[in-house]
Amino acid sequence: MRKEDVIARVKEMERLQRCLDENQAQLIVLYGRRRVGKTFLINAFFEGRFDFKITGAYKEKKEVQLRYFAEELSYHLRQPVAPPKDWISAFSMLRQYLSDLPDDEKHVVFFDELPWMDSAHSGFLPAFEHFWNDFGCSLNNLVMIVCGSATSWMTKNIAKNKGGLFHRQTCSIYLQPFTLKETEEYLLSRRIEWSRYDITRCYMAIGGIPYYLSLLVPDKSLNDNIDNLFFRKRAELWNEYDQLYRTLFGNSPHYVKIVETLSSRRAGLTRNEIIQATGISDNGTLSEILTNLVDSGFIRQCNVFGKKKESYYQLCDYYSWFYFRFIKGYHGRDEHFWSHSYGSPSQNAWAGLTFEQVCKDHIQQIKHSIGISGVLSEESIWAVKGDENHKGAQIDLLIDRRDHVIDLCEIKYSAGEYEINANYHESLRNKRERFREQSGTKKTLQIVMITTYGVKKNKYSGIMSNQVTLDDLFR
């Protein structure tokens, strides 16, 4: 595995190279969603040349983790090493091993799936903190990488550690899923040459998760691939959902309950609505669960325009959304379900709603397309209920710009040019005026249409100030 094998992770590799070039000890924290490619990135960048590497074992006791530690040390010392009795002894052995290595070259140590080593009553974290503070940070030629898919654990105990590791990490990298453009690059590297329309539909089903994308087969169509991954008997992603949450969150039933509740409300729910829908108590545990789900990239916390203390939580993990919409309870009735139902009302409804999520994940591309990439802005949502005198109105993406302009973004997914007719034209005018009235804003209001293939020019299309197409999202 080589650096040349890595697709898209340019900034992350540049950051790793700067750490490698530094003349002081480096503690690199790498975290991100399960299957996003953390281990692959580290293995490829360092080309497998580690002076010590250990991977935590899921739900294994301390004694088992320490046996794996001893086996790795035995491999590098080329002689048998007895398993240490505890993590203090283990890090003492690692300290002695590193002290005996040459001083005139860099030494790389990689602890993968670090959260799984910190099993109950293991004493791992205090021992690791002591090792780094008392020894590791003094070795100018040491590069230590710690990595984990349990983003909540990594954030709390490493990245935002307020104890022995407070401000000790020299580099923190949150590895995000691929963008549309990066997904396209990855698929091309695997000889998959789909249209951007199909790439987007693929993205809406599995997101920009490299592992999921690696399962796609070049000689099959998109529909056949989705059938193959989800709907055939014993499909590879059929039971991914259970593994995904169980391995990331210790109290997984509460996490799953919140995610499942949000899956039925695409517009999202407030904290109080989540409490009412799930029955989970309003306490610190709920706050921690919501924070962990946000940090892990499974849900998004959306601001409501003009209401600083109110926000909505939305499910934003593509796989989870797809699972609840089409997979849960399906039980393999049709191995070609996706191909057979192509163009059905359920698929079209899913595509329209999920395309909104794609747009929210590509705000920078949208801003670049409408020429405001250098303008500071805040993104939010807005809605007002109807009454006897007015229709209700909702804006799913609102860009409040520092140049005294607010972009009201309308997101429409279609297989061709989108046409604004008389009724929709009136709806747009109503939204704009209701927003102006309810918000009391004095800023210029502009309607931005975000569509797959653009807006058909007619006598109503002049209401929009700007438009963004699918190609723009691939920048």
What are the tens digits of pLDDT across the range 40-60? Answer: 999 999 998 999 999 999 989
Q: Which residues of the chain have pLDDT under 70?
A: 1, 159-168, 250-251, 331-332
Q: CA–CA separation, 221 vs 198, rounded Å?
A: 9
Q: Which of 238, 280, 273, 234 is nearest to 255 (CA)?
A: 280
Q: Is 86 exposed, middle or buried (0-12, 13-18, 19+ CB in 10 A)?
A: middle
Please count the structural domains in the chain: 4
Farthest-apart Cα atoms in the chain, separation: 83
What is the per-residue pLDDT for 131? 95
Residues 218 and 255 in one domain: no
Looking at the structure, tell me whether residues 349 and 258 fall in a common domain: no
Percentage of the residues of the chain whose pLDDT score is greater than 70: 97
CATH number, residue 429: 3.40.1350.10
Q: Which of 139, 154, 174 is the last residue of a domain?
A: 174
Do 138 and 273 belong to one domain? no
pLDDT at residue number 331? 61
Torsion of CA 465, 471, 474, 475, to 10 degrees: -60
Could you tell me the CATH number of the domain that includes residue 275? 1.10.10.10
- Residues in CB range of 205: below 8 A, 6 or more apart: 226, 230, 318, 319, 322
Which residue segment(s) compose the domain that 188 sits in? 180-233+332-358
CB within 8 A of 432, min separation 6: which ones? 408, 445, 447
The separation between the first and the last C-alpha atoms of the chain, rounded to the nearest angstrom, is 28
Of 155, 174, 193, the residue at which a domain comes to its end is 174
pLDDT at 23: 92
Looking at the structure, do residues 113 and 220 belong to the same domain, yes or no? no
Res 251: pLDDT: 63
Tokens coding 374 = 């250098």
**Residue 304 sits in the same domain as residue 403:** no
- Convert the pLDDT of each residue in 128-173 to its tens digit: 999 999 999 999 999 999 999 887 788 777 766 656 665 567 888 9
Same domain, 69 and 129: yes
Do both 260 and 282 map to the same domain?
yes
From 325, 348, 377, the end of a domain falls on 325
Whether residues 34 and 117 share a domain: the answer is yes
Q: What is the pLDDT of residue 332?
A: 64
Residues 147, 25 share a domain: yes
Task: Please enumerate, as own/partner, the contacts of 64-68 that have beta carbons within 8 Å and a separation of 24 or more.
Answer: 65/116, 65/117, 65/119, 65/122, 65/124, 66/90
- Whether residues 249 and 265 share a domain: the answer is yes
Q: What is the CA radius of gyration of the chain?
A: 25
Taking all residues of the chain, what is their mean pLDDT, rounded to a whole number? 92
Q: What is the pLDDT of residue 161?
A: 64
Cα-based distances in Å from 21 to 6, 14, 15, 47, 99? 20, 11, 10, 16, 21
Task: Judge if 193 and 342 occupy the same domain.
Answer: yes
Tell me, yes or no, whether 386 and 251 share the same domain.
no
